Amino acid sequence: MNFALTEEQQMVKDMVSRFAEAEIKPIAAELDRTHRHPEEICRKLGEMGMMGVAVPTEYGGAGMDNVTYVLALIAISKACASTGVIVSVNNSLYGYPVKTFGNHEQKMEFLYPVASGQYEGCYALTEAGAGSDAAALTCRAVLKGDKYIVNGTKRFITNGGVARYCVLAATTDPSKGYKGIINLLVDLKNTPGFSVGKIEEKLGILASSTAELVFEDAEVPAKNLLGAEGQGFRQMLSGLNAGRIGIAAQACGIGRAALEDAINYAKERVQFGQPIAAFQAIQFKLADMATELDAAEMLTLRAAWLEDNGFDFEKEAAMAKYYAADVAMKAAIECVQIFGGYGYCKEYPAERHMRDAKICQIYEGTNEIQRIVVARKLLGMR
């Protein structure tokens, strides 16, 4: 078993880490405070190939592997969790289904501009009554001639307020359940009947736009159907599996930021005549944080390696996602505790890490759903 990175993987990890420390981390607090979409950072990351890491160069990506993607996303999320999830959605939730199920023409039109970093993409799945129960969609797509007429509202869509392109999950017939689900590729800037609704006010990841997407007799060309009718639910599950690797990487990055800040503060903060890092109570917290984060990264890298090598990675992605999310939340809470009263103040980054970490336990499948996925795979249940 070889844990060493390839020369290319190490090079990308180092390159992105330097960029994140120099250009993303210094503005992370400002992005959080102002809720500003990091437009300039996204464009630069696009130039570096990080908005489509595992997308072939033919379609605007960097043509690398998913292990490299995980390494890059950890470094980005360590600097700014909001930027991390923007990159994750571009690569995973949006990029994966278009790359995997789109035809050449669709990839050129809808994947190339996103993977190359010109625009953001999003995946419109969640509805008011369809979250964990993804098959309960009510957003309706009716084929009329050479167009689908779409009616429905999507909620909590990451990148929704800034995305140019969208993979839209809809149903052709609610009575068919999951068999009626399709995915449509939508150019949101050129779709009559589409509008952005409510922009959510959130606890964390405040520089990431989370929006309501409204479709009222929206017209989507029939040629924008991803794959064929009846394949949408399988595509959805496959895309979510890939997305969970991205969220696991984001969680690892947040946890790493919490650990690094906790270590630095523990060395500086003096109580009873010595740095608090000298106290065993603090040392134990730091040791647990570091050990659990290493384990979370190993789970995440394993899932990415399985995807790269064509193996089934559903169970491993679910394991990585829920474990990394729980570890990140624990690390963030312990970071606040080590900072003490300062950890509760916005002057320091500890409270931001805690706010940012929480969402990793919720989106792209709650951690409860991930445990169900793992258990069903273990038991051989569908």
Q: Which class for 239: exposed (0-12), middle (13-18), buried (19 or more C-beta within 10 A)?
A: buried
Q: Are residues 137 and 184 in the same domain?
A: yes
Q: Are residues 57 and 134 in the same domain?
A: no
Residue 1, domain member (yes or no): no
Q: What is the pLDDT of residues 6-46, one digit of tens each?
A: 999 999 999 999 999 999 999 999 999 999 999 999 999 99
Is the pLDDT assigned to residue 78 strictly greater than 80? yes
Rounded CA-CA distance 94/317 in Å is 17
Is the pLDDT assigned to residue 101 strictly greater than 80? yes
Q: What is the pLDDT of residues 276-285, one digit of tens each?
A: 999 999 999 9
Q: Are residues 49 and 115 in the same domain?
A: yes
Percent of the chain with pLDDT over 70: 100
- Local confidence band at 131 (pLDDT 50, 70, 90 cut-offs): confident
Q: Please give the pLDDT value at position 132.
A: 81
Selection from 239, 232, 136, 157 nearest residue 202 by Cα: 157
- Local confidence band at 236 (pLDDT 50, 70, 90 cut-offs): very high
Is the pLDDT assigned to residue 175 strictly greater than 90? no
* Count of structural domains within the chain: 3
Q: Are residues 247 and 374 in the same domain?
A: yes
Q: Which of 124-138, 286-300, 322-336 is least confident?
A: 124-138
Is the pLDDT assigned to residue 134 strictly greater than 80? no
Rounded CA-CA distance 146/297 in Å is 46
Q: Please give the pLDDT value at position 135.
A: 78
Identify whether the C-beta of residue 244 lies closer than 8 Å to the C-beta of residue 364.
yes
Q: Which residues are catalytic?
A: 364
Among the candidates 183, 214, 230, a domain finishes at: 230
**CATH value at residue 215:** 2.40.110.10
**CATH value at residue 241:** 1.20.140.10
Q: Are residues 205 and 225 in the same domain?
A: yes
Q: Please give the pLDDT value at position 177.
A: 87
Is the pLDDT assigned to residue 382 strictly greater than 80? no
Identify whether the C-beta of residue 167 lies closer than 8 Å to the C-beta of residue 114.
no
Q: What is the pLDDT of residues 255-264, one digit of tens each?
A: 999 999 999 9
Q: Are residues 93 and 181 in the same domain?
A: no
Phi, psi of 212 (to 5 degrees): -95, 130
Q: Are residues 204 and 332 in the same domain?
A: no
Range of the domain at 245: 233-379
